Amino acid sequence: MQAKRWQSTVGREPIQSFVGALAGKHANKGVFITTSDFHKNALDYAKGVTHKIILIRGQRLAELMIEHGIGVSTVRTIAIKRVDSDYFEEG
């Protein structure tokens, strides 16, 4: 796994280096995370290699953090209530 806190788009070269590092460790799968986004050439390269490379861009990273409650805090909770229709029925 590799994570980059970048503002610029991640291109092919860092992904290619990552795949080389995986090969050096005899690994065939890897996850590359960035706080920014991936350039099209990086996405195309990751799809074309024999290694299984999962690319997680900033937007998806934020979604996963919210979903799993990691590095986030609740600011406000809203309760939505409805009237139970059977409450008014004669029993």
Give the per-residue pLDDT at 60: 96
Crossing angle, helix 12-24 and helix 40-48, to 10 degrees?
30
Write out the DSSP string of 31-76.
EEEESS-B-HHHHHHHHHSSSEEEEE-HHHHHHHHHHHTSS-----
| CA 13 – CA 55 distance, rounded (Å) | 14
Q: What mean pLDDT is predicted for residues 65-72?
A: 94
3-state secondary structure of 67: helix
Q: What mean pLDDT is predicted for residues 47-59?
A: 96
pLDDT(90) > 80: no
pLDDT(32) > 90: yes
What percent of the chain lies above the pLDDT cut of 90? 86
The pair of structure tokens assigned to 7 is: 């503002």
Short-list 52, 55, 48, CA closest to 9: 55
Give the per-residue pLDDT at 91: 61
What percent of the chain lies above the pLDDT cut of 70? 99
Domains, the chain, ranges and CATH?
Answer: 2-72 (3.40.1340.10)
